[in-house]
A and B are shown apart, each in its own frame.
Chain A
Amino acid sequence: MSLTLLIFLPLAGAIFAICFPRKQVGTIAAFATLLQVGFIIPVLLNFETSVSLQQAVDNWWIRELGISYSLGLDGLNVFMVALTVFAWVIATIAASRRKVDNPRTYFALLALAETGTLGAFLAQDLILFILFFDLLLIPFYFLIGIWGQRRPRAATAKFMIYTLAGSLLMFASAIAMAHISAVQHDIGQVSFAFEDLVQNPVSGGAQNWIFLGFAVALLIKMPLPPFHGWMPDTYRAAPLPVLIPLSAVVAKLGAYGLLRVVLPTLPLAAQHFQDLMLVLAVIGIVYGSVMAFSQDDARLVVGYSSIAQIGFVALGIFAFDDKGVQGAMLQMLNHGIVVVGLFLVIGFLAERAGSDSLSRMGGLAKSAPLLAALFLVISLATLAMPGSANFVGELYILFGAFDGAFAYGAVATAGVVLAAVYMIRFYQRTMHGRGPGEGRSREIESDELGLLAPAVLVVLALAVYPQFVVKRIAPAADSALTAIQLPGASGVSKQSVDGDAGEPAARKNDSGAPAAKRPSTKGERTR
């Protein structure tokens, strides 16, 4: 029950906040998000490494359609949930600093987006996942379209087309998967529960088609080239408090979907398309990096660098090695945290320089040494400087990639060097030299520090003791690949892909269903 509470707490807080006068809505909403911090910390501390699915909720929702309201917390999503709360707390406080038009709608939509995101991370049923996944996008359309800048409508339209196309494909694929699974395994009751879909996978040929539907939807969300066309316009248009959660958290949902849905339920197709996905991942790394150091808009530097970073995540996932998955999960968290910091800094810089353009900045460090120092910490973490938790993630990804797909890992190392190029360039172009920004620059103010300091402190804390995260997610990294059958130590046999997958006994019962908590699957219950 407590997970339901967690999901709807943001919405409840926002409803509470909009009862207040317009001027106070933002402040109340910001305080309401702080409540969630009190909620999430015990969740992290009490997280049991040894139990796979915790605090599970499992009820039928629309039994006739096989849709259940089931939620659960495990190593795969626990830090994503924490990241969601963190990003939204910072974003809501950042939003409350500024006067906005229609604050009630604005904060309500922001909170609705958080509810959707939390729900998507916690859902253990495919339809529920997709429902939350689409629910969270609607507030983003309005937030960007109404409160955005620089041709927000056009940006929204693009964002809309991309995500809508993806969502519909995923939705169709989901329904097809459950339907075909029920038919092929001769089960009367259709079920969308992950657990059932894992136990009764569809056959190889069907998997491939379904996989493509999911892959397009999730790659758009991440985004990886060539599905990133929505990113530049959306990043330029979105208000920063909206962009923070969009980039830090929502983009991670794509990678999360691969780990939660695609690898366990479509293992044969995942293996079939392994090389394709690895190629896309590596292209993302190189392309994102090269683009990141040719941008003039600070937001797009971060936008393209995120493409490169998410490329690393995809590389870790599709190397089909537990270390790679571990690294991917770590990197999803680490990158989310640094992106929160980066966009905060970009906001501060833009306020000083009067523009997001790097050519209008330069020399900002002169009168803002503390801001420069904090930005440096975030920048170094972003480029996965050894000594940051991002390096731990990258190390695991590279180790996994070297073990599982050496050639791709070798190409990806170029991305490590390029990351240094674009982040140091970004830092220097804004802070160092003598630029037009120096005259208008001023030191970070206490309320700005209050926003940025938590991000920097989390980065530093994880840098000193990444084991806190590492040990909590390692079992999930291990089990995410249970369905993937690797002949020998590495490499994937293409022959098994085309075989009939009608025999579920070949696969282990996987992915986070402890026998004690969920003794039987729904399919069996109905029979």
Chain B
Amino acid sequence: MTNAVTPLLAHVGHFTQVTTSPMGDAAPVWALLLAPLAGSLLIALGHRRLPERAAGWIGTAAIFVAFGAAVACFFELQGMDAESRHILSGYAYAQSLGVDFRFDLYADPLSVFMALVVSGVSALIHLYSVAYMRSDQGYGRFFAYLNFFVFSMLLLVLAGNLALLVIGWAFVGAASYLLISFWYRRATATAAGIKAFVINVIGDVGIVVAAFLLWRELNTLSIPQLLAAASDPFSVTPSATFTAAALLLLVGAFAKSAQVPLHTWLPDAMEGPTPVSALIHAATMVTAGVYLIARFFPFFELSKTAALTAAILGTATLLIAATTALVQTDLKRIIAYSTMSQIGYMIVGVSAAAYGAGMFHLMTHAFFKALLFMAAGSVIGAMGGVQDVRRMGGLRKAMPFTYVTFLIGALTLAGLPLLSGFFSKDEIISYTFNRGGAYAPIAIALYLGAILTAFYSMRAVFLVFHGEPCEEARELETGHLHHGEHANPATGEAEDTDVGFPGADHHIAEREPEMKVAMGVLALLSVVAGVIQVPGVTHAVDAFLEPTFASSRYLDTAPGTGAEQLGLAIGGVIALVGIALAVFAYFKRRGITETLARRMPRAHATLSNAWYFDAIYDVLIVRYVRALQSLSTRVLERFVVNGIVDGTTGLVRLVGGRIRALQAGLARVYAASIVLGVAAMVFYFYLAAR
């Protein structure tokens, strides 16, 4: 099917296949992009005629095809010369007047790396969803949206034109909106959806303005050409314009990646079904900001200001999010704050020119965070929809598989030595230390964040799985899966189950082979994925990405093997300290956390309210917009605009009233007055012209 696409597009016109390598064949790239779109359309148009639960398998198959195509792209790239290791193919989309807005796909090591992570993790989450969403009334709609999301995400990473990247960027935002509001009869879900959408549009606008600045400076929107121009120190010198462009790109990156100050939508986005949280709001879409910085790395190297801004805000985010995660009571929100925090690490990494490390952490994070959400979904299933960790406890015996996978995810997140998160996170910290200067205090903050991370991840494990078994846990031990009250976990509002809310029945990993397979694979990857990049032993990620970042000006700031191994040792100790603290607080000295919260109510409230960002925005922005709105409606519209005309209308009505006896009398008067008035004016000017 996908091979037929190329001639079809060629027929449409302006299709040019630009491949710089003789071996370059764009077919796998197009297959990679279009397989999820085909799946989405097939499900959307056909799910009423297809067998009832076919949508899930069609959707899953489409993503596995995409993953296969991504692997094919990988091998194709590996077979090319390192200097020209990319594929470029597309058509003129809206190209005129010097604006080269083209639909170009660009597959280079960085984009193929992202495509592999995205399609691979997506495939597993689709598989998980086949079982998890089985009882949901919106089953077909869910997979149509989910496939559309993967298409959008692949469009984003494969875009070879900055304007096309904006399209992918906005599409993932729209897919995210649709899936956050998936259970659209919940008021909390639709409110969360609109918040996410609007903040994402702010990000889109940032990138559009950045695109303009880059286009004006370098006369192109083509990403390879922009990168080539920016990497050439003879053609481009640092300037305020490039700094502005890089900062505007950051607006987009931060909105998408939920970094301070554009982060408030992500915790609310947990209103979506849990597989959505796993896929979009943990593993893939929210890491797009990291990809954006890595993609446009020459511009962040040109502008030290922009790079440092990104690093500082990333650090702020990781500390704010990690501290907030310490006190949250909603299981999914705890993981959401941890996602924000981990993305902060990646942002710091790519801003400090640790591109390989940043992308490596992006990959391992995708594995263990998707795993954590999947396990959380299983827990929420067992709890009958309850997400409050204070209601949970002692689920360890009732759900051993979920317990083990959640524990693996949490330990990887905590950075336990030898698990994958340990290698990837500490590589970022070593690079940051090695940059020195302003980056040294940042690196210390990263270690601080690591202790917090270890603590809150173990806190979640202990609260959910250890301690006294809750009612649902005891029921499950006797073999009965609890059916909860159908109530909105956020508000307690009663649910109607016919459009969603994980359906009448809940599904847990212990009883669903599809969920088990998906979680098992991710648990395995979380444990072993670190081996591909062990300091002094392997460097697969760096080696694969090398052609993309060959022109980096900071190649020599990579730390030596010894420094990296020292960093690993420190990081390992810090993770263990954090874990030990959690064990101390939740086993040895039970109740110490409550005491602390009582002693410092103000600090506790600040963290519970996520540092009051929502309240501040309400005061700063929302209220002003409301005031403007009421000014427009009550004053301008009523008096200024209508006042002028209402006076005139009143006059006419007075005249019109006299002749109201005639049907449509008014209109006749008007028609007559037009004709007369026009005639009079023609006559006057005609005479005057003589």
Contact = CB atoms under 8 A, between A and B. Distances in A.
Given A291-B632, A398-B212, A417-B202, A161 B94 contact: no
A182 interface: yes
Contact of A179 (B141, B169, B652, B689): B689
A417 B198 contact: yes
B208 interface: yes
Interface stretch (B182-190, B452-460, B470-478): B182-190
Contact of B209 (A153, A363, A413): A413
B661 interface: no
B685 interface: yes
A305 B65 CA distance: 42
A100 B184 CA distance: 38
B190 A474 contact: no
B609 interface: no
Nearest to B651: A161
A19 interface: no
Nearest to B183: A432
A177 to B, nearest CB: 10
Interface string B628-658: 1110110011001110110011001100100
Contacts of B628: 290
A432 B171 contact: no
Interface in B2-20: 12-14
A178 B689 CA distance: 9
Contacts of B552: none
A470 B94 contact: yes
B539 to A, nearest CB: 37
A111 interface: no
Nearest to B630: A294
A160 B670 contact: yes
B681 A322 contact: no
Q: Per DSSP, are chain A's interface residues mostly helix, strand or loop, or mixed?
A: helix
Interface in A218-235: 225-226, 228-230, 232
A478 interface: yes
A294 B632 CA distance: 9
Contacts of A146: 664
Interface string A409-444: 010010011001100110010011110000000000
Given A287-B632, A402-B209, A363 B674 contact: no
A365 B640 CA distance: 39
B341 to A, nearest CB: 27
Given A141-B670, A182-B689, A417 B681 contact: no
B141 A386 contact: no
A449 interface: no
A168 B645 contact: no
Given A403-B216, A431-B184, A432-B190, A176 B685 contact: yes
B667 A424 contact: no
Interface string B307-346: 0000000000000000000000000000000000000000
A106 to B, nearest CB: 14
Contact of B97 (A134, A156, A160, A477): A477
Contacts of A417: 198, 201-202, 205
A507 B670 CA distance: 41
Given A179-B689, A291-B637, A434-B185, A424 B678 contact: no
Interface in B584-642: 625, 628-630, 632-633, 636-637, 640-642
A466 B629 contact: no
B637 A395 contact: no
The interface centre, meaning the residue of B96, B98, B184, B628 with most chain A CB atoms within 10 A of its CB, is B96
Contacts of B94: 389, 392, 395-396, 466-467, 470
Contacts of A398: 208-209, 212
B555 interface: no
Contact of B167 (A322, A391, A431): A391
Contact of B649 (A157, A171, A428): A157
Contacts of B673: 164
B632 A179 contact: no
B198 A428 contact: no
B218 interface: no
Given A363-B185, A465-B93, A386 B166 contact: yes
B564 interface: no
Interface string B161-177: 00100110111001001
A229 B673 CA distance: 21
A172 B685 contact: yes
A207 interface: no
Contact of A366 (B12, B185, B642): B185
B101 A392 contact: yes
The interface centre, meaning the residue of A162, A366, A467, A474 with most chain B CB atoms within 10 A of its CB, is A467
Interface string B224-267: 00000000000000000000000000000000000000000000
Interface in A269-328: 287, 290-291, 293-294, 322-323, 326
A491 interface: no
Contacts of B496: 434
Interface in A27-86: 65
Interface string A354-386: 000000000101100100010000001001011
A433 B681 contact: no
Contacts of B301: none
Contacts of A408: none
Interface string A104-146: 0000000000000000000000000000001000100110011
Contacts of B208: 395, 398, 413, 416
A323 B99 contact: yes
B585 to A, nearest CB: 42
Interface in B439-490: none
B670 A164 contact: yes
Nearest to A420: B201
Contacts of A373: 44
Contact of A175 (B185, B625, B681): B681
A161 B664 CA distance: 16
Contacts of B57: none
B640 A226 contact: yes
A138 B671 contact: yes
A197 to B, nearest CB: 14
A395 B101 contact: yes
B666 A323 contact: no
B95 interface: yes
Given A161-B645, A291-B637, A386-B167, A474 B97 contact: yes
A416 B670 contact: no
B686 interface: yes
Contacts of B95: 467, 470-471
B642 A142 contact: no
A317 to B, nearest CB: 15
Contacts of B190: 428, 432-433
B13 A467 contact: yes
- The 7 nearest A-B residue pairs measured at CB: A386-B170, A175-B685, A474-B96, A432-B184, A420-B201, A386-B167, A392-B94
7 contacts: A294-B630, A294-B632, A366-B499, A369-B141, A395-B163, A417-B198, A470-B94
Given A395-B101, A477-B97, 8 more contacts: A164-B673, A178-B689, A232-B637, A287-B636, A386-B169, A399-B99, A399-B212, A416-B208
Interface of A: 65, 134, 138, 141-142, 145-146, 153-154, 156-158, 160-162, 164, 167-168, 171-172, 175-176, 178-179, 182-183, 190, 225-226, 228-230, 232, 287, 290-291, 293-294, 322-323, 326, 363, 365-366, 369, 373, 380, 383, 385-387, 389, 391-392, 395-396, 398-399, 402-403, 410, 413, 416-417, 420-421, 424-425, 428, 431-434, 465-467, 470-471, 474, 477-478
Interface of B: 12-14, 44, 91-99, 101, 141, 163, 166-167, 169-171, 174, 177, 181, 184-185, 187, 190, 193-194, 197-198, 201-202, 204-205, 208-209, 212, 215-216, 496, 499, 625, 628-630, 632-633, 636-637, 640-642, 644-645, 648-649, 652-653, 656, 664, 666-667, 670-671, 673-674, 677-678, 681-682, 685-686, 688-689
